[in-house]
Chains A and B, each alone.
Chain A
Amino acid sequence: MKRTNVATGILAMAIIALMATSCKDKNKEQENQEGHNTEQMDDSGHMDGTMEDHSQMEQDNMNQGGMAMMSSEVVADYLTLKNALVSDDKDGAATAGEKLESSLKDFDTSKFSDEQQAELTDIIEDATEHAEHIAKSDIGHQREHFDILSKDVIDLLAIAGSERTLYQAYCPMYNDNKGAQWLSATEEIKNPYYGSKMMTCGSVQKQIN
């Protein structure tokens, strides 16, 4: 009896270990894809990378220079999150929120002026909190937090700039008709606040380069 238990235990551990490694490989693959990001959302929603991956990417970014490079990871994670909300994918949004949390943490403000640094620190602090909540909320709350988070990211990009072209879109209905903004990599409207309920509600306000 005892021997069977031990055997089952070992077998279980082996399976878990195997799954963990294959999962990690899959993540890496996705990370790579994200480098030359297509706006496509991955159905699996598995997007979390490890810390090493992040700092590695950050370093690559630095080597290529330019302030706008620094925001690229934040932008990539934000877009993943946005796409998850567009497809009403709560779990995907949660994972992306977690990832965004760490890319915000890795955002290096030291190259900016003192004044900009203070502003960026405020923005990052606020945005991190929203990302944290998105990682552990239901989709309704995720969208509420995404609303303020979007403002934060827009303000962050106003200072840091964006490497890739983004479109700032606006949905006038969300939030009891107070309206809400979001950023997208394409001009086509896909509403993250309503998802499939009202996919095309909204319009592009401006282009951010």
Chain B
Amino acid sequence: MKAVKVTGWILLVALVGIQFMPTERNQSDLIPKTDFMVVNEVPKNIESVIKTSCYDCHSNNTDYPWYNKVQPVAWYLEDHVEHGKEELNFNEWDSYSSRRKNSKLKSIISQIEDDEMPLTSYTLIHRDARLSDTEKKIVLDWVSKLKDSL
């Protein structure tokens, strides 16, 4: 019984303690020249879908939810965003070689087709980031067209 109590206290102290640990926030007002929306002619409706559903983790600017202030949630998100940007950063689109652009577009298509992106853990909270069937279709059609034009 005593052990449980001690563990409880340790956990509590740790939980409070980690709230003071700094996190790196992924925020930037700058829209670089290499941004996907800048270098491609993206129709407004497609742009809005991609920005809402993808840009939080795949660009240099995340629209953070309030709970990002709470640890360990912030760490979890930080890790997600970091990994997401590593895979694909829409802000740096034009810095990719055409070979890589082609690969990325192919992966974008297959991930959306298979409902692997946006992540369920993300859409669970960001309800507006979910893709409806119509949205899926218009985005996929457009991205396929872009891929063929490369």
Q: Is the CB of B106 within 8 A of A148?
A: yes
Give the dominant DSSP class at A's interface.
Answer: helix
Q: Residue A125 contacts which of B100, B102, B110 (CB distance < 8 angstroms)?
A: B100
Cα–Cα, bound, A144→B106 (Å)? 9
- B77-135: which residues lie under 8 A (CB-CB) from chain A? 97, 99-100, 102-103, 106, 110
- A93-123: which residues lie under 8 A (CB-CB) from chain B? 122-123
B141 to chain A, nearest CB (A): 14
Give the dominant DSSP class at B's interface.
Answer: helix
Contact with A along B45-73 (1 / 0, CB 8 A): 00000000000000000000000000000
Q: Is the CB of A122 within 8 A of B106?
A: no
Q: Give the A-B pair count, Cβ closer than 8 A.
A: 20
Query: Which residues of B are interface residues toward A (Cβ below 8 A)?
Result: 97, 99-100, 102-103, 106, 110
Q: Which 9 A-B pairs have the closest CB atoms?
A: A122-B97, A126-B99, A126-B100, A122-B99, A148-B103, A126-B103, A144-B110, A148-B106, A125-B100
In the complex, besides A126-B99, A129-B100, A144-B106, 11 extra interface pairs with C-beta distance below 8 angstroms are: A122-B97, A122-B99, A122-B100, A125-B97, A126-B97, A126-B100, A126-B103, A129-B103, A141-B110, A144-B110, A148-B102
10 A-B pairs with C-beta separation under 8 A: A122-B100, A123-B99, A125-B97, A125-B100, A126-B99, A126-B100, A129-B100, A130-B103, A148-B103, A152-B99
